[in-house]
Amino acid sequence: MVEEKTSLHSSLKTIEWKNNKLVMIDQTKLPNELVFVEFTDYNQVANAIRNLVVRGAPAIGVSGAFGLALAVLQSKATTQEELIQDLEKAKKILFETRPTAVNLKWGLEKIMKVAKEGNDVIQIKESIIHAAKKMAEDDVQINMAMGKNGSELFNDNDTILTHCNAGALATVAYGTALGVVRATKDSGKNIKVIATETRPVQQGSRLTAFELKHDGIDVSLIPDTAVGYTMAKGLVDKIVVGADRILKTGHVFNKIGTYQVALIAKQHNIPFYVAAPLSTFDMESNPEDVVIEQRNGSEVTGIGDKKTAPDGINVINPAFDMTTPELISGIITEKGVAKPPYEESIKKLFEAN
């Protein structure tokens, strides 16, 4: 693993495949340093996903796929059977890093399908690298299509609240929720963003505030506890967030705190939108099947390196929560905007795909 520091003003490429190496921004270092890290081993990629060096549902889907691309390069297999065994081992290690975002499973399974359809070791290696690179390119195109679809829901002079980071940094580039913000701005509308800080690891203040400021988009940061205040004061026109998993019923799993934002929005009649690609949909699970990742208590007992709680305190630290369909005004995808009732509208999106 090699680190390369760059000026904060260079363009943001969250994930890139360069000379058979995976290069990713180390998001744990933002906003203070923009550091690119190079990976040559899928085990390093698994650690990077687990430790939030790369995070955000689409970004971990694509980095999982590139993890398997590294695994084929690392493999000494001489037969297809041996190569698939090596890949299954790597897939398990990558898959077990984070349980909630369904894009990881999606990305890994897409690559495994390519491996199983291949004929010989050399051809499979090439096809896997090609498929992972294509997945990264498609991610940007999908986000742009989603952004365009979503931009029609927002008006000139809207102030849009967002939670966590569903931006370029959570994808290969452009973003889901922040892709909608970018496309709305690009369509000529004047908009402002309110970003929640998103405790405990502050993807809102460290990442969303950083990337919007970097791109010259008007953004104000609020503590998570000011969501009710800003809505009650009439400072928010609409809300858009990303998602880690969306069920066929329209139940949305996203960063912890999203549910509270949606409830307060309902109380104040403020439209609450979710933006996510079809790869974030899980058409098989029920709400009770979804595993909510429980993260280390140290994320709550401190901010950065500073301790803010007594030693030995018991902590509950779920990384995600579930927002129920009746709180959601629309789900923006690359294939269009699903509106309630979601069972029907989501099914139609997949039929059109």
**Residue 55 burial by Cβ neighbours in a 10 Å radius (0-12, 13-18, 19+):** buried
Tell me if 4 sits within 8 A of 36, measured CB to CB: yes
The residue among 48 and 124 lying less far from ligand MRU, judged by its C-beta, is 48
Task: Choose, by CB under 6 A, the member of 45, 46, 48, 55 that binds ligand MRU.
Answer: 55
Residue 171 is a binding residue for ligand MRU (CB under 6 A): yes
User: Minimal distance in Å, beta carbon 59 to ligand MRU?
Assistant: 7
Length, in residues, of the chain = 353
* 331: helix, strand or coil: strand
Residue 142 is a binding residue for ligand MRU (CB under 6 A): no
Phi, psi of 290 (to 5 degrees): -80, 125
Tell me if 254 sits within 8 A of 241, measured CB to CB: yes
Tell me if 238 sits within 8 A of 113, measured CB to CB: no
- Check 244, 282, 289, 311 and give the catalytic one: 244
Phi, psi of 145 (to 5 degrees): -65, -40
ω into residue 287 within 30 of 0, thus cis? no
The residue among 169 and 349 lying less far from ligand MRU, judged by its C-beta, is 169
Task: Choose, by CB under 6 A, the member of 102, 170, 236, 338 that binds ligand MRU.
Answer: 170
CA–CA distance, 218 with 229 (Å, rounded to integer): 20
The residue among 124 and 247 lying less far from ligand MRU, judged by its C-beta, is 247
The residue among 176 and 329 lying less far from ligand MRU, judged by its C-beta, is 176
User: Minimal distance in Å, beta carbon 51 to ligand MRU?
Assistant: 11
Task: Choose, by CB under 6 A, the member of 14, 97, 254, 329 that binds ligand MRU.
Answer: 254
Nearest to 153 by CA among 170, 169, 172, 177: 177
The number of angstroms, rounded, from the C-alpha of 188 to the middle of its chain's C-alpha atoms is 26
The residue among 86 and 244 lying less far from ligand MRU, judged by its C-beta, is 244
Tell me if 171 sits within 8 A of 58, measured CB to CB: yes
User: Minimal distance in Å, beta carbon 235 to ligand MRU?
Assistant: 22
Residues 175-194 that bind ligand MRU (CB under 6 A): 176
Residue 67 is a binding residue for ligand MRU (CB under 6 A): no
**215 assigned to active site:** no
Host H or E run for residue 21: strand 21-25
x-or-dash string of contact with ligand MRU, 212-251, rule CB under 6 A: ------------------------------xxx-------
Using the contact rule CB under 6 A, the part of the chain among 36-44, 49-57, 211-219, 281-289 near ligand MRU is 49-57
Residue 203 is a binding residue for ligand MRU (CB under 6 A): yes
The residue among 99 and 118 lying less far from ligand MRU, judged by its C-beta, is 99
* 52 φ/ψ sector (left φ>0, alpha ψ -120 to 50, else beta): left
ω into residue 200 within 30 of 0, thus cis? yes
CA–CA distance, 341 with 317 (Å, rounded to integer): 32
Task: Choose, by CB under 6 A, the member of 101, 108, 160, 252 that binds ligand MRU.
Answer: 101
User: Minimal distance in Å, beta carbon 170 to ligand MRU?
Assistant: 3
Give contact residues for ligand MRU (rule: CB under 6 A).
Answer: 55-58, 101, 164, 166, 170-171, 176, 203, 242-244, 254-255, 319
Residue positions annotated with a catalytic role? 244
